[in-house]
Amino acid sequence: MDSATFIAMASIIAAGLCMGIGSLGPGLGQGRAVQSALSSMAQQPDERNSITRTLFVGLAMIESLAIYCFVISMILIFANPFWNYVIKKIGG
């Protein structure tokens, strides 16, 4: 197996692991956040607007982690910094 094939395989596997593990945590966190918010709303219906506003801010923060993992995966697949190194090694 040549180095270009190895870099391509490693990039694809790393991107898959990054998305798999990186979306598992935020998914579980969002589920717990919604569960807690619904429980709080059931106990204190008068504070529904405050809880909802805080919930959406928290969900946006949690979702940003999954977006960062997606960006890293796209960099690994389409703009891998190791490709320039491999191309220089093969070409020269």
Q: Provide the residue type at 32 as one letter.
A: R
Cα separation, 31 vs 22, in Å, equals 15
Write the pLDDT tens digit of every residue in 31-90: 999 999 999 999 999 999 999 999 999 999 999 999 999 999 999 888 887 877 777 877
Cα separation, 67 vs 19, in Å, equals 9
> pTM of the predicted model, to two decimals?
0.75
| Domains, the chain | 24-83 (1.20.20.10)
- The secondary structure of residue 92, as a DSSP letter, is -
